[in-house]
Structure 1
Amino acid sequence: MNWASAIKGFKAYLKLERSLAGNSIKAYSRDLDKLYQYADSLLDKKSPKDFSLQDLRQFIAWVNELGMIPSTQSRIISGIKAFYKFLLMEDYISADPSELLETPKIQRKLPDTLSVVEINELIAAIDLSKPEGTRNKAMLEVLYGCGLRVSELTELKLSNLYPEIEFIKVTGKGSKERLVPIGGEAILALKMWTDFVRVHIPIKKGEEDLVFLNRRGSRLSRVYVFLMIKDLVATVGLKKKISPHTFRHSFATHLVEGGADLRAVQEMLGHESITTTEIYTHLDREYLKSTIIGFHPRN
């Protein structure tokens, strides 16, 4: 078994059996390519089945020497573990050398968020005199109102909108579907886009069910959403590094600060593990201070 055939089989497994998205499969492939490069640099040219736990530890030391940060190392180790579980499952190996491979401790970075005032400023800065302005407003209202990932936004379908019961159906990571509540502001913005602007666009064949389209009737790219938000940030003059994901972080943070149940937030975000959602239990100091002043009996 050589590296090329092992990696090819692993990619097929990720796509067909684990139903991972193309971007996730590419990320796994890039990380395994690093392990292959390392193996190829060794004098004895080890194949995947020849690697021991000590070899993998030496590989991680090599990655560390390249200057990769702990979060990147952790992702690489996660990919290696998935790769060797696949090889074990397919009987290419009889023991998993990655089983005891340690993941570096990572200091969890708190996500950047926007205040409600800042979100309102960004939405108010959209030029609604232009057709794309109506669309862009709807996109931001849905990003913040439903906590979507940017890929979930660009892939949102008309057939998955249920405004009469105030829900939308979203296809997330691993093609997993979830129902997410949608509020009045987002519903109204979507209606303005779909009923008064989108209906006048000549739609490209195969894109008829997509909610958000460009003026040529084709799907929007993730890059477009990033650039649109970047332009709005510059217009408003905000001194924060903001991306589409910032709206998702803000959605979750504002819900948790408002007292929402963490399990409910987990469901809405589509997180597999509650530990991923727990990062949103951070509260800024002013919020903590005002809470203590407002509710502590000695204040």
Structure 2
Amino acid sequence: MKWQHAIKDYQLFLKIERGLSKNTIESYSRDLEKLALFLDTNEIKVSPTNIDASVVKQFVYEIAKSINPRSQARIISGLRSFFDYMVFEDYRKTNPTDLIETPKTGRKLPDTLSEAQINQLILAVDLSHPQGERNRTILETMYSCGLRVGELITLKISDLFFEEGFIRVLGKGNKQRYIPVHNTAKKYITIYMNQIRNHIKPKKGFEDTLFLNRRGSGLSRQMVFMIIKDLAIKIDLKKKISPHTLRHSFATHLLKRGADLRSIQQMLGHQSITTTEVYVHVDKTYLQEVLEKYHPRK
């Protein structure tokens, strides 16, 4: 079995069997292509079915020279998943990554903005610009609902259930969840739809897409990144932020104001509560407040 053939089969498995997003599948594929390139460059003649642990260790040692431990851990995890698939499909008997130790990376705490900085960012949107109303609505929706950028750009008009107070989101692994929508976000979405979007002719396939560019197509991830990056520069924000920063800020601010972790977990779409618990570490004052409120020693 050749590497390119195995990678294509694996991509189909990730899409059909595991329901992973296009971006996640591409990430897994890039790691395998790096391994295939390493083998070709070093004239190591092994296939996905007979490569052994020593060769995989050579590859890991080589990439460790140029990337940080967190990236190393991600690549090793991707390789382990691929060879698990090979074993599952009976192409191999063992996984050659089983004995490879993943570097310890620690837990990276997410960057967040204060409530004042969020307001400053949104107020910096130029509403005289043709796309200003849309951009303000994008920021407000991401922050009010804690959306991932991929969830934002695929949000449909048919996903809006304003009378019930929810929006429907298609998250990781094509899993649907319903998120309560704040009145402020609801107001800006309504203004955008009635005053801006209804003057744009959607291209075929984008008739139901909420956020459109000037040509009537859906927004790209890169475009949302650039909108936020430009606003950060405009308000002279001294930290590097991304769309995910709004999601992290959403969770942190809810926790700070007394929301429970289980509710935040459901709104964020985290499969495990452990993922959500990182926000406790971001806002350490929360732990002190819990202690003072619930400890029997008053």
TM-score normalized with structure 1 length = 0.91
CA distance in 1, matches of 2:43, 2:219: 48
CA distance in 2, matches of 1:125, 1:68: 36
Residue 26 of structure 1 corresponds to: 26
CA distance in 1, matches of 2:270, 2:287: 30
Any idea what the Cα deviations from partners look like across 1:191-227, whole Å, max 9, x if unmatched?
A: 1111222112222222110111122222112222111
Write the mapping of 1:151-170 to structure 2, written as runs, cut at 5 A: 151-170=150-169
CA distance in 1, matches of 2:287, 2:261: 22
Task: Indicate yes or no: 2:249 matched with 1:250.
Answer: yes
Between the aligned residues of both structures, percent identity stands at 51
Tell me if the contact between 1:257 and 1:281 (Cα under 8 Å) persists in the aligned partners: no
**Structure 1 counterpart of 2:25, one-letter code:** I
Tell me if the contact between 1:81 and 1:99 (Cα under 8 Å) persists in the aligned partners: yes
**Structure 1 counterpart of 2:56, one-letter code:** L
SS of equivalent residue, structure 1 residue 51: coil
Residue 15 of structure 2 corresponds to: 15
Residue 188 of structure 1 corresponds to: 187
Q: Could you tell me how far 1:42 is from its partner in structure 2?
A: 4.9
Q: Could you tell me how far 1:284 is from its partner in structure 2?
A: 4.7
CA distance in 1, matches of 2:261, 2:247: 15
Moved more, 122-131 or 203-212: 122-131
Unaligned runs of 5+ in 1: none
**Structure 2 counterpart of 1:142, one-letter code:** T
Specify whether residues 272 and 297 from structure 1 end up closer, same or farther in structure 2 by C-alpha distance, changes over 3 A only: closer
Residue 109 of structure 1 corresponds to: 108
Any idea what the Cα deviations from partners look like across 1:231-254, whole Å, max 9, x if unmatched?
A: 222222221212111101101111
**Residue-pair matches, total:** 297
Write the mapping of 1:1-299 to structure 2, written as runs, cut at 5 A: 1-42=1-42, 44-65=44-65, 67-284=66-283, 287=285, 291=289
CA distance in 2, matches of 1:272, 1:9: 26
CA distance in 1, matches of 2:286, 2:271: 28
Q: Could you tell me how far 1:121 is from its partner in structure 2?
A: 1.0
CA distance in 1, matches of 2:286, 2:90: 54
CA distance in 2, matches of 1:250, 1:12: 35
CA distance in 2, matches of 1:60, 1:247: 34
CA distance in 2, matches of 1:202, 1:220: 14
TM-score normalized with structure 2 length = 0.91
